[in-house]
Amino acid sequence: MDKPPKAADERYDIETQALYQPLQHIDLGALAAAQTPWWNRTLCVVNDAVVRLAVIEGEFHWHKHDEEDEFFYVVSGHLDVDLEGRTVGLEPDQADGREGRRGSDGRLKT
């Protein structure tokens, strides 16, 4: 018997507990390569900044961060940051910290 498809929220594997100490060496390529789509973890906390790594495939639902700004850095592939009225595309080794402003609605997709 086939399992029904997972609901959107069930496919997300998101944890907020830091995996590493600040300034600890992390092999991001190896860590990301060992994960499945929708794996999202807090790597560490440096001062007041939370450093997260996400493996994304497809579309992440529209959402808003009321308390945080977001900074996006693409390791591989392509990432579109959808905002109300426009889309910003990022390629490998490109980053953008302007688009994930606290209080703004956005959606990520590959």
Q: Across residues 85-109, what is the average pLDDT?
A: 89
| Same structural domain, 43 and 65 | no
Q: What is the dihedral of CA 105, 101, 38, 87, to 10 degrees?
A: 60
Q: Across residues 78-93, what is the average pLDDT?
A: 93
Which CATH number does the domain housing residue 79 bear?
2.60.120.10
85 Rama class: left (phi>0) / alpha (psi -120 to 50) / beta: left
What pLDDT is stored for residue 1 in this prediction?
46
Please write the tens of the pLDDT for every residue from 19-77.
999 989 999 889 988 999 999 999 999 998 999 999 999 998 888 888 888 899 998 99
105 inside domain: yes
AA letter at 99: E
Q: With DSSP H G I counted as helix, E B as strand and the rest as coil, what are the percentages for the chain, rounded to 5?
A: 10, 40, 50
44 inside domain: yes
Q: How far apart are CA 29 and CA 76, in angstroms?
A: 9
| Same structural domain, 70 and 100 | yes
| Same structural domain, 62 and 47 | no
Its domain, for residue 93, covers: 57-110
Whole-prediction pTM: 0.79
Identify which of 76, 62, 73, 67 has the alpha carbon closest to the alpha carbon of residue 97: 73
> Residue 8: pLDDT above 70?
no
Residue 68 β-bridge partners: none
| Same structural domain, 37 and 72 | no
| Same structural domain, 51 and 65 | no
What pLDDT is stored for residue 3 in this prediction?
45
Q: DSSP of 45-67, one letter per residue?
A: EETTEEEEEEE--SBPPPEE-SS
What pLDDT is stored for residue 85 in this prediction?
87
| Same structural domain, 61 and 48 | no
Query: What's the total number of domains in the chain?
Result: 2
- Which of 8-12, 24-28, 60-64, 79-83 has the weakest average pLDDT? 8-12
| Same structural domain, 69 and 50 | no
| Same structural domain, 23 and 72 | no
